[in-house]
Structure 1
């Protein structure tokens, strides 16, 4: 194409059996002083240094248009290379290993191909703001005869299967459009007069297109109506849900007009396949969460992300807002779109609330610090994480609920958190002006007046920058929802007293976490221990509940376990004071949908 930009990328699924992409980067006008090229170290939306350059197996530079006239390429560090001075137009050829089945990186085999450009495409330092193109070529082999391309990138010249040339405004735009290649089942619908689609890989049986379209349309409409109640128009011209279904997996990553999702096959409604409604509801919640991000975090951003610095950590203390408020709205939008009823919605809120209350780390780490330290703590979880970390997703959602309740109470139900979100969208979303670390203060007071200052300052000091539990049991009392301490069975109480989290390993119960203040910690158990028996009764994953039930009325019992293949025995002492308080929510008799 004669009108291609000066920065051009070409991606080949070159070796599906060896899981290798080949990528060519053409630079028409390198810096004459020695052009630097660099591979991103992380991908926006997933706050962990991932060192994508480690998957580069080979990298070479050539005079443009030649594969024989090689140019010297200086290695600067793990992520950067430098061309010689006055190199002229060049082609950089890389071979990249791709076998990460998550939504964050790149994957290639004979079944499918997937990539985020952060995993394959080198940035041209100093030219990141220039337009660029991406050419996607088909894989060779009979297995790929029916492969097509699914991406939200702007097509320039493509064939009927989507292979060909795509355009991006700049490197930041390029990396914000994941690409999936293979065989798909697709569904289309309209929301806000804008085409939406979902492309699903991995399902053998025909998907229930009608139900998916109906449910996702309702959820998308609800979110559009929240931010644009008058125009009913989203801030994009099309939207794509890219879904990879597997035996066991779950996750999502947001992009400006698409999202990459990973879920279990049994979470998708399919013909002649029994569907567990709770599992499907979880999938819809994932779609709702990532779709909401198209407004909150992809367009409404912290100033710390403007621009992204992809070679280093980008710190902000606002992830409790960007992720926590999104987590509050993802389930709320399911309720508002009538995908779930009020009882189910309150159950979801209760489960999150109680889950936060069961984590000892909530009294050690504030939400602000959890946000700031996401790079080294939340995204690098270990056996001590529940004791040291509070989730900015979980507790952040509780802050959103609490703030919503306080706004409604203060304004006599004339305003709500919805009004604040719309104000934020007008000030920082449409304008793309990033939010400063204290930027919410002015917006909240602009919406509610100085009379709300004391309430907001208290929320910030005690529950965002402090480590106190949010008193939802008090704030919810004035609404049409009943809240009371949760009735716990003897088995539930015993599990809470023990303070153990575990997994099944070859028929053994293996401890993964020991919670601070629990009876198991007091008895000297530790992560990695394999539990053998309690009071002489053999423990297995299938017998766990029955054995605990038999001990529910005991004040103490002996536990036999193995640590490093050595047998140990401890006496576990139980105290009711060790129980964390749990709650349950239910609709009052005159509750109405909101």
Structure 2
């Protein structure tokens, strides 16, 4: 292909059995003072230093066009190498191990290939803003005879299966288009006069493409109409959902014109396969969340992410806004697009609200601090996380709901959070001007005037930079929705009193978390303990609820457990626990007429 850019990448699934890609980086004009090349340490959207360079098994430099004339390559540190001075055009060849099935790295076997360029492609320091190309070559072997390429990257010259050359505006553009290779079932639809598609891997049975297209079209249309109610046009010319289905797994990562999703196979509607509607709804919520990010995060960004510094942590105190508000809208868009009814929507809001209220960490860490510390706390969760950390997703969504309610009350329902989101889109999305750490202040002032300033400052001080609970039970003053304390069964109440979380391990119940203020903590239980019996009744995963139910009217009970293979016994006093408040939202009788 003629007129290739000065920076060229070639990716080859060289060893599917050993899970290794080979990658060639061609640099036409390296820095004559000694060109530095570097591997990203993290991927945008997933706020944790992942040290992708650790998967590089071999790296060598050659005079361009030669595989025999090696050039010395100096290792500077964990992620960087330097070429000698006046090296001339060079090729850098790397072998990269790839067996991470998440949406944030790279994977290769005889069933499929997937990669984000952050896991495979070295950046050319000082030339990151230059255009670059990506050549994707097919794997060798009969297993790959029907493999095709799915990516939102701009194709320059490809064959019928998508193998060939792609172009990126710069390195940031290159890493914003994940690539999936293999056999797919696809769904196509139009939203906002723009082609959308979903490419699904891992489903053995034929998918229900008609239902997927209908549901996804409705969700995408609703999101487009939120941001562009007049033009009804999205900010891209095409959009791609890449879906990898597995036995157990869940997650998503947003990109400029696409998203990479991981879900269970049974969450996808398929022929002759029973579908659990709640599981499918969860998948649609994931799609809604990542699609919303095409506006909020990928185009509306914090200034701290402009540009991304991929060798170090990029801190912002605004993740409660970017992730929390997206979390608020993901389920709301399902309701607005008529994919779920009001009862289901309120149940989802209630579940999030109660989940936040069950976390003791909400009274220790503010949303602003949770955002700032995401790199070392939220993304590096441990057994004490519920006691020390508040989720900027969960509580951030509650702030969004609360702010929406307060805006509606202040403006007599003439304005809502939607109007704020549209203003933010006009000022910071279309223009790509990053939002400063206090940038929302001026936007809210512009939308609502000085009269709302006191309310906004209180929300910030108490619920974003402070650690108070958001009084949604007071703010939901609607004739359509009822708020009341949640009715709890005796066993639900007992579980809250205990204040422990657990997992099943080989027929044992193993404690994973002990919550501050609970009876389990007061009795001296700890994460890692294996529970054996309560009041002489053996505990197993299948008998857990039955045994608890038999103790529902007790004030205390004897608990036998093992720690480090030594037997211990404690008396658990239930009256010592602090029971967290829980609420229930439900439609009122008036809602039936709306």
TM-score (norm 2): 0.99
Contact 1:114 1:181 in 2 (8 A): yes
In the TM superposition, residue 479 of structure 1 has moved relative to its aligned partner by: 4.9
Contact 1:356 1:390 in 2 (8 A): yes
SS in 2 for 1:14: strand
Q: Structure 1 unaligned segments of length 5 or more: list them.
A: none
Q: What is the alpha-carbon distance in structure 1 between the residues aligned to residue 116 and residue 238 of structure 2?
A: 19
1:100-150 deviation per Cα after TM superposition (whole angstroms, max 9, x unaligned): 000000000000000000000000000000000000000000000000000
1:258-279 deviation per Cα after TM superposition (whole angstroms, max 9, x unaligned): 0000000000000010000000
In the TM superposition, residue 576 of structure 1 has moved relative to its aligned partner by: 7.3
SS in 1 for 2:476: helix
1:180-219 deviation per Cα after TM superposition (whole angstroms, max 9, x unaligned): 0000000100000000000000000000000000000000
In the TM superposition, residue 578 of structure 1 has moved relative to its aligned partner by: 1.5
Change in 2 beyond 3 A, CA 1:593/1:47:
farther
TM-score (norm 1): 0.99
Q: What is the alpha-carbon distance in structure 1 between the residues aligned to residue 533 and residue 549 of structure 2?
A: 14
Q: What is the alpha-carbon distance in structure 2 between the residues aligned to residue 578 and residue 549 of structure 1?
A: 19
- Deviating runs (4+, > 3 A) in structure 1? none
Aligned to 2:481: 481
Contact 1:342 1:593 in 2 (8 A): no
1:407-463 deviation per Cα after TM superposition (whole angstroms, max 9, x unaligned): 000000000000000000000000000000000000001000000000000000000
1:487-546 deviation per Cα after TM superposition (whole angstroms, max 9, x unaligned): 101000000000010000000000000000000000000000000000000000000000
Q: How does 1:257-276 map to 2 (within 5 A)?
A: 257-276=257-276
Change in 2 beyond 3 A, CA 1:300/1:593:
farther
Q: Structure 2 unaligned segments of length 5 or more: list them.
A: none
1:27-53 deviation per Cα after TM superposition (whole angstroms, max 9, x unaligned): 000000000000000000000000000
Contact 2:227 2:422 in 1 (8 A): yes
Q: What is the alpha-carbon distance in structure 2 between the residues aligned to residue 424 and residue 576 of structure 1?
A: 48
Q: How does 1:392-403 map to 2 (within 5 A)?
A: 392-403=392-403
Give the root-mean-square deviation of aligned CA atoms: 0.8
Change in 2 beyond 3 A, CA 1:96/1:527:
same
Contact 2:517 2:577 in 1 (8 A): no
In the TM superposition, residue 588 of structure 1 has moved relative to its aligned partner by: 1.2
Contact 2:38 2:124 in 1 (8 A): yes
Q: What is the alpha-carbon distance in structure 2 between the residues aligned to residue 593 and residue 125 of structure 1?
A: 62
In the TM superposition, residue 472 of structure 1 has moved relative to its aligned partner by: 0.1
In the TM superposition, residue 480 of structure 1 has moved relative to its aligned partner by: 2.1
Aligned to 2:255: 255
Q: What is the alpha-carbon distance in structure 1 between the residues aligned to residue 501 and residue 421 of structure 2?
A: 37
In the TM superposition, residue 371 of structure 1 has moved relative to its aligned partner by: 0.1
1:222-258 deviation per Cα after TM superposition (whole angstroms, max 9, x unaligned): 0000000000000000000000000000000000100
Contact 2:535 2:559 in 1 (8 A): yes
In the TM superposition, residue 478 of structure 1 has moved relative to its aligned partner by: 3.8
In the TM superposition, residue 477 of structure 1 has moved relative to its aligned partner by: 2.6
In the TM superposition, residue 20 of structure 1 has moved relative to its aligned partner by: 0.1
Contact 2:21 2:96 in 1 (8 A): yes
Contact 1:200 1:243 in 2 (8 A): yes
Q: What is the alpha-carbon distance in structure 2 between the residues aligned to residue 509 and residue 479 of structure 1?
A: 44
SS in 1 for 2:210: helix
In the TM superposition, residue 589 of structure 1 has moved relative to its aligned partner by: 1.4
SS in 1 for 2:119: helix
Number of aligned residue pairs: 594
Contact 2:479 2:590 in 1 (8 A): no
1:338-365 deviation per Cα after TM superposition (whole angstroms, max 9, x unaligned): 0000000000000000000000000000
1:75-107 deviation per Cα after TM superposition (whole angstroms, max 9, x unaligned): 000100000000000000000000000000000
Q: What is the alpha-carbon distance in structure 2 between the residues aligned to residue 184 and residue 550 of structure 1?
A: 51
SS in 1 for 2:245: strand
SS in 2 for 1:29: coil
Change in 2 beyond 3 A, CA 1:429/1:331:
same
